[in-house]
Structure 1
Amino acid sequence: MLKHSIISDDSNPILKHYDLQRQVGTAGPENVWKIFEAIRLEDSKEASVFWFEKKVADKLHKPRRRETVSEILRKDVTQLSRIRHPKIISIQHGVEECHDSLAFATEPIFASLSNILGNYERMPANIPQELKIMQKRNIFGMRRVPFTGDHEFIDMEIKYGIFQITEALSFLHSSEHLIHRNVCPQSILITKRGAWKLASLGFVEKTKEGKKSSCQSWTTKIPKMAQPDLNFIAPEVQLEKICTPLSDMFSLGMVICAIYNSGKSLISADHLPGLYVKQLDQMHETFGIVAHRMPLQLVEPVEKMINRDTRYRPTAQLFSMLKYFTDPVVSGLQLLDAAVAADRKDPVQRAEAYANLSQVIPIMPRKILYRNVFPTLCQDCKSGESMVFALPAMLTMIDFAPRDDYIDIILPEFRNIMSSSKPVQATVYILNKLDIILSKTPLEEIKSEVLPLVFNTLDSQSLQAQEAALSAFSVIKEYLDDNIIRKMVLPRAKSLFYRSTNVRLRINALTCIDHMLDSLGKMLILDEVLPFLTDITCQDADVVMAVVGVYKHMLSDKKFGLTHNLIATKVMPSLIPHTVNPGLSMEQFGDLMEVLREMLEQIDRQRRNKMKLETVILPVPPRYEYSIFVT
């Protein structure tokens, strides 16, 4: 439980539902919401709790002003609870209130964009290490950039983040007919899975079709924590007290500039409306400096977004269609987010998302892959329904991951997938991709996790799974010792052949034995394999040819112990009747006859050599020895 030194009271009802941990960030107007890591007591799942201490507003000596702040924050949570969209923060538990605090719970949050850009207002003295900003030199010289160890913003992260917030605004403007009115870094939250989501809906205004909405400009007469951020407010809001959805686009443009300007807005009014007006006139000069740090494809659109003339500003929908966002990684992430938002209700959509993702993974930045994609893959692989769709992407990720990443990050999760119960289709897919898994997996893990998966699948009731397991032995044979082959592989392969009437399964059993031959000793082959083969009476042409294939392999090397005596007395008598098998095609008949001729040649060669050794040639006597018989 969080200590009293961090939160002034423990009487807020939300503490009955969540166990609060460390503070990781702040958000909302003037960063009044403290964000805490939390564990939901009901199911021990990770969450975040937003906490507002009312004493923060105590310096507002007039009670009405203090209540104004609380009203705005209550409205914020109420709107978030009502409006559901993948790019708007998801509420887990609605607002709870007591005399000293307001609180609500959401999906797990990493921090606000404001925190990541270096604003630590209302943060504890011990700033989380992952949020600390370090001096780092780049092509613009020494400047402060968001740097969090492995969490420094990368271009793709910013690109997709801006796209996500644009989608949230497009939804608010088009579907909800609302104007956000406070788009700023404090209103953008980064989840622990790396998604950028819009929050702070306490200032929303309803749009009027074809008309501009009237709104309150920023004033010193209202507490600053009960107003939007002056540094990001659109000129028409502050100067004319009117707003439209395009006012939000001005604010978004200013947020983009802040990202590329060390977290600072182009306007720094310091809560002074007069200074805002003065800096507004100088803003485009400042933009010229910041523009050099932006991707070229963003410069012109952003310049239009922050134009004082609303006619030049793009709508959220038009902005989202920029060529800048036409990127396969953005498209792949977007499809995945949409599928997750559908909550597995649309299998076709999920299949499409993961098929696309499998193609994009090889070019996806490492940070995006492990922070945005991998947690979703792991989650979907815990559900039988979605595992079938997610596994191909997971295996693609394994295929392209450096071995260290696989061992340290992927394998701990994939180990659970291999050992868990799963649909037949998922098991078959893993077995068919064992070559990829074996190439990255340490030997001890292969023996403890991969081999049991194969052997357990042999006992499956599914013919498809049994076939896949038998086929897998060609890949894992180098990891099997003679004892395992003799006691586990051969008996199961033979048993499956005898028990099954399925032709494909019988062929796979024979193929499995064929692949094992090189690993078997001569006596094991003669005692276990040869009698099994000669006893096969199945007349199916494909099964016959599988048997012929095993014999052909055995003929290739003397180490298999197939002598001319065994060929003549055991093997050929079992094969010759098949020469009149009406089920054989011309090609199959030719293959059978070729093996029989090779067997006859071996008999002829070995028999002649033996006869030569056994034949005793009498010496021819000298000519003079015959003279005594001459008369």
Structure 2
Amino acid sequence: MLAAATSFFSRTAISQSYNIGAGNASRSSTPTPSGSSSPVSHTSTARIGLWKVQGAVHKVTNKRVSVWSLDKRVEMEGLGPLSRDHVLEVLKAEATALSRLRHPSILEMVEPLEETRNELIFATEPVLSSLEMSIPRKSSHTPIVELDEIEIQKGILQLCKGLSFLHSSARLIHTNLKPECIIINDAGDWKISGLGLTIPLTNADGTPTRWEFPGSDARVPSYVQRSFDYIAPEYALDETLVTASDIYSLGALVYAVHCKGKPPFLNYGSLGSLRDNVGRPVPDIGQLDTDLQDLLRSLLTRSPSNRPTSSTLPSHPFFSSLPISTLNFLDRSNFTTKTREEKISFMKGLTGVLNKFSEGLKVRKILPSLLEEMKDTHLLPYILPNVFAISTILSAVQFAQLVLPSLKPLFTVKDPPQNMLTLLDNLDMLQSKTEKVVFREQVLPLVYNALESEHAIVQERALGVVPNLCETIDYAEVSGVLFPRVALVFTKTRLLSVKVATLATFLSMVKVLDQINLTQKLCPLLSKIRTKEPAVIMATLSVQEAMGFKIEREAVATLVLPQLWAMSMGPLLNIEQFQRFMSVIRKLGDRVEKEHDQFLRDSQRIEDRSALANGVNLPNLNSGVDFESLVGRANTTTRAEVFDDHRKSWDDDVWGPILNGGHEVSTPGISAVTPTPQVSSSQASAPALPAHPQVQSLPSSPRVSAAAPLPRPSRLGAKPVPATSIEKPAFSTSTPLGTISSIGRPMRISSPPSNPQHGTSFSNSSSAMSKPNYNISFSDVMLPASSTPSTSPPINPAPNYNSFMLTNSPSVTTPPSMGSMLMPMQPTKLVAPSKPVTKDDWGDFDPLK
């Protein structure tokens, strides 16, 4: 309970308000450039003199600070009462001076000093390290902050400003200026600290301050004592209080920075050694720059009056380099007083000298100043190139924390247009420095706003970055957002250059978009082009050509090629452009022909396999036409005409009587044709039919077996044709028919033998292909209406189908039908059957099957 109570009462306001030791938060907010070490105060505990320095974050405001604390029990262990009191007095005086003195070159205090029984604690601005920890020494030593010559020069000038403030405004002499008392903050600025031993030039009543002996006690920490290695000789030897003493200490500090932390003279805390070294020249400066040598000689002189003052020191040639002049111009106190024209000229020249600065200096010093000046939109076109040049050395996390928050408001600023042009030119870097989600949500709106800009040059530049975006962002974003916005620009623009740029963008998007978007969106969009400008037409041709080799052949044939033919007739095209159209049309046409031909062949192959699987014997399509049929057909009608005539004859002669009441129809006025074709041996052996002067009869055919199905050309998905079908009759007329087809398939029909004594008749075919699927013979003679029935014997007495022609009205006639050789040309008279029809007379005929 006692320990808990002691801990409660030892708590301070700083420990209650801040998360002390929040190194991750501090480091993430103040990233260091790649290749440099992380600041100790942000990752662990730093030691600056007797102080323990830790990073901290305010619990409410998230403000970052550095907390300085002293553990009395640890740091003062072994000290006597007087030494202990002296140490506490100096440390408290230091914190009090920091809270009282306010200057950009003096360490800024954020939370005042608090003292508990065991601790001294206060908070300052975030710091990186002390100069003592950043001076490069041995090769094994890794400095906290890497210092180059420009940063050293900049830091010395900042110290000059701080000393000038102490000497002229605060009327103080530091008397303890050394590397441990110089602090480097997170912006890379050098700040004066260690103010616990300052001496005022005058007392409160205006009288001169009494001189203090610079004693050295080995039992007391050196941090709270004046160092004999950096003290001015006039102060130690002449007991004089002058501001020039701090200038001598500054010269010793400059020497140590350039000579690996070694002061010009090692006095070991002895006045005798200090007295001996005063008259010696500055050692080991031959390897230094000439201007630096001259500066050190003027600072480390014995006479205070020969030294430059803190106000005149910045004009020394050592500080006249272009980078130093650049930093001085960019300093807040100077830059705010410059005119806009001067600022623009400065920003234009800054790009050329950035490579002379170290990475740390660019990130910690130059970049924050540039980001602060981005509030003036008229300076943005000149500031942004420098910002992006520095951003190249940043990691993605650093860029997202330091730069992106300042750039995000600019993505919607459309005027002046140079802002968007600069941002679009650096879009690749923006994409590489941001995560995919951040880029889509925060950076892509820049491209969308640029596409909606009123300035053509901005739209063209935005269209120019779209191709790379299509290959790097998600396809859903391309097809759902980016492509519709580009299409909107294409539809609304009236500028020829923007229209052509949009078509070039479409060309690059063809390889990314799928067939659905190309067919359903891009093709209709291109079909609305009405301009005859060759630039637009040729750009459209390139898009259509690329699209024609990606979409389906049906779309090429119906959407692409018609438009290309129409556009090729443009009156403003020259011969080369027209030939280019013809070349593309031929290539796309060849593609359509080849693919569709292959498609039809594949479909036919599938049909044939399906027919074979269903047991259908396909006709031999490759069988030729015999010479006899070929020669005989040459003097007659065409194949199509013969087929048409026979089809109509079949309809009239077979189905006509059935559908007209079952009466036999006589054909008056038609005389039988009696050709005399050459008869083959197979035909001669066939039995001849009895002659009848006025009748053309259908031949009797044997019954077709169901085991031998009638051949039929297969269709996709068609079923085999039954054997009893009457769909494929074989006809034999007085005219040689040659080859006819059934539903588009050729069928060979031989010319039947003819009897010169008889009329034209149908005969049995010698093969299954030419045999009809019926067994019918009309035996009764069809007589004209004006004549009486003939007494001649019937052509084929059995079976008799005359009963099929019975009717109650003898006067009923059948209307004539066109295109048949057997068709009556006049109204006919129905004739009564000669004998009754029996069941056997029907045979296997089924006209409805």
Residues 421/461 of structure 1: CA separation in 2 closer, same or farther (3 Å cut): farther
Matched, 1:511 2:501: yes
Asked if structure 1 preserves the Cα contact closer than 8 Å seen for 2:329 and 2:335, the reply is no
The total of aligned residue pairs comes to 532
Q: CA deviation at 1:154?
A: 2.9
How big is the shift at 1:49?
A: 1.4
CA distance in 2, matches of 1:18, 1:214: 42
| Counterpart residue number, 1:121 | none
Q: Deviations over 1:254-292 (max 9, x none)?
A: 1112223432323433333344333434xx35x222x13
Within-5 A mapping of 1:388-399: 391-398=384-391
SS at match of 2:120: strand
Shift of 1:250: 0.3
Give the structure 2 partner of residue 247 of structure 1. 245
In structure 2, what is the equivalent of residue 550 of structure 1?
Answer: 536
Residue number in structure 1 paired with 2:523: 527
Report how far residue 415 of structure 1 moved: 8.7
Q: Which blocks of at least 5 consecutive residues in structure 1 are unaligned?
A: 118-132, 137-144, 537-543, 574-594, 611-631
Mapped to 2, the partners of 1:336 and 1:178 lie a distance apart of 29
Paired with 2:316 and 2:199, the residues of 1 have a C-alpha distance of 27
Equivalent in the alignment of 2:64: 46
Q: How far did 1:25 drift?
A: 3.3
Q: Is the contact made by 2:384 and 2:422 (CA closer than 8 Å) also made in structure 1? A: no
CA distance in 1, matches of 2:208, 2:288: 32
Closer, same or farther in 2 for the Cα pair 1:105/1:387, shift >3 Å?
farther
CA contact (8 A) 1:388 1:426 kept: no
- Partner amino acid, structure 2, of 1:550: V
Report the aligned-residue RMSD.
Answer: 5.0
Amino acid at match of 2:252: M
CA–CA distance in structure 2, aligned partners of residues 211 and 322 of structure 1: 34
**3-state SS, counterpart of residue 215 of structure 1:** coil
Distance 2:445 2:132 in 1: 53
| C-alpha spacing 1:185/1:45, structure 2 compared with 1 (3 Å) | same
Q: Using a 3 Å threshold, how does the CA distance of structure 1 residues 604 and 395 change in structure 2: closer, same or farther? A: closer
The DSSP-based 3-state class of the residue aligned with 1:232 is: coil
CA shift in 2, pair 1:450/1:26, >3 Å: same
| Cα offset, 1:146, TM superposition | 5.3
- The equivalent residue for 1:90 is 108
For 2:109, the aligned partner's letter is I
436-445 vs 170-179, greater mean Cα deviation: 436-445
Relative to structure 1, the CA distance from residue 106 to residue 353 in structure 2 (aligned partners, 3 Å threshold; closer, same or farther) is farther
Q: Report which of the two structures shows the higher radius of gyration computed on alpha carbons.
A: 2
Map 1:302-317 to 2 at 5 A.
Answer: 302-317=296-311
Alpha-carbon deviation of 1:152?
A: 4.4
Percent identity at matched positions? 21
From 229, 232, 240, the counterpart of 2:230: 232
TM-score by length of 1: 0.68
Tell me the residue number matched to 1:73.
91
Cα deviation digits, residues 195-242 of structure 1 (max 9, x gap): 22111233334457x998653231359976654333211122112322
Q: Aligned pair in 2 of structure 1 residues 35, 415: CA closer, same or farther (>3 Å)?
A: closer
Amino acid at match of 1:394: V
CA distance in 1, matches of 2:535, 2:478: 20
Quick check: 2:127–2:186 contact (8 Å CA) kept in 1? yes
> Which whole-Å CA distance do the structure 1 matches of 2:581 and 2:70 have between them?
95
Unaligned runs of 5+ in 2: 22-40, 512-517, 549-558, 587-849
Distance 1:375 1:190 in 2: 16
Partners in 2 of 1:309 and 1:317 — Cα distance? 18
Residue of structure 2 equivalent to 1:476? 466
Q: Is the 8 A contact 2:127 2:184 kept in 1?
A: yes
Q: 1:263 aligns with which of 261, 264, 267?
A: 261
Instruction: Describe the SS at the equivalent of 2:157.
Output: helix
Partner of 1:578: none
What displacement does 1:104 show? 1.4
Structure 1 Cα separation of the partners of residues 241 and 452 of structure 2:
64
SS at match of 1:147: coil
Instruction: Give the Å deviation of 1:313.
Output: 0.7
Which of 142, 149, 152 aligns to 1:147? It is: 142
* Partner Cα separation in structure 2 for residue 174 and residue 548 of structure 1: 77
Partner of 1:26: 47
Measure how far apart 1:305 and its partner are: 0.8
- Give, in whole Å, the separation in 1 of the partners of 2:520 and 2:442: 24
1:216 aligns with 2:212: yes
Aligned position for 1:598: 574
Structure 1 residue aligned with 2:358: 365
Say yes or no: does 1:493 pair with 2:486. Answer: yes
CA deviation profile, 1:420-457 (whole Å, cap 9, x unmatched): 45453399736644444427955996797269733565
CA contact (8 A) 2:177 2:246 kept: yes
Question: Does the aligned pair in 1 maintain the 2:182–2:192 contact within 8 Å?
Answer: yes
How far apart, in 2, do the equivalents of 1:42 and 1:443 lie? Answer: 30
SS in 2 for 1:92: strand
Distance 1:258 1:451 in 2: 51
Quote the Cα distance in structure 2 between the aligned partners of 1:165 and 1:319.
11
Corresponding position: 1:331 with 2:329 = no
Structure 2: which amino acid aligns with 1:111?
S
Higher helix fraction (1 or 2): 1
Report the CA distance shift for 1:569/1:278 in structure 2 as closer, same or farther (over 3 A).
Answer: closer
Distance 1:39 1:10 in 2: 20
Give the Cα–Cα distance (whole angstroms) in 2 for the partners of residues 48 and 350 of structure 1.
34
**Other structure's SS at 2:529 match:** helix
What is the SS of the residue equivalent to 1:102? strand
Q: Which one of the candidate residues 412, 418, 427 is aligned to 1:424? A: 412
The residue that corresponds to 2:654 in the other structure is: none
**SS of structure 2 residue aligned to 1:105:** strand
Q: 1:463 is matched with which residue? A: 453
Distance in 2 (alpha carbons) for counterparts of 1:412 and 1:25: 28
Code of the residue aligned with 2:142 in structure 1: it is F
Q: Deviations for 1:342-378, whole angstroms, at most 9, x for unmatched residues?
A: 7x99999987876564343233223433454456667
Answer whether contact 2:451 2:458 (CA < 8 A) is retained: no
Between 8-17 and 97-106, the greater mean CA deviation after superposition: 8-17
Moved more, 523-532 or 470-479: 523-532
State the SS of the aligned residue for 2:142: coil
Does the residue aligned with 1:168 lie in a helix, a strand or coil?
helix
Provide the secondary structure at the position in 1 that maps to 2:264: coil
Q: 8 Å contact 1:95–1:104 — kept in the other structure?
A: yes
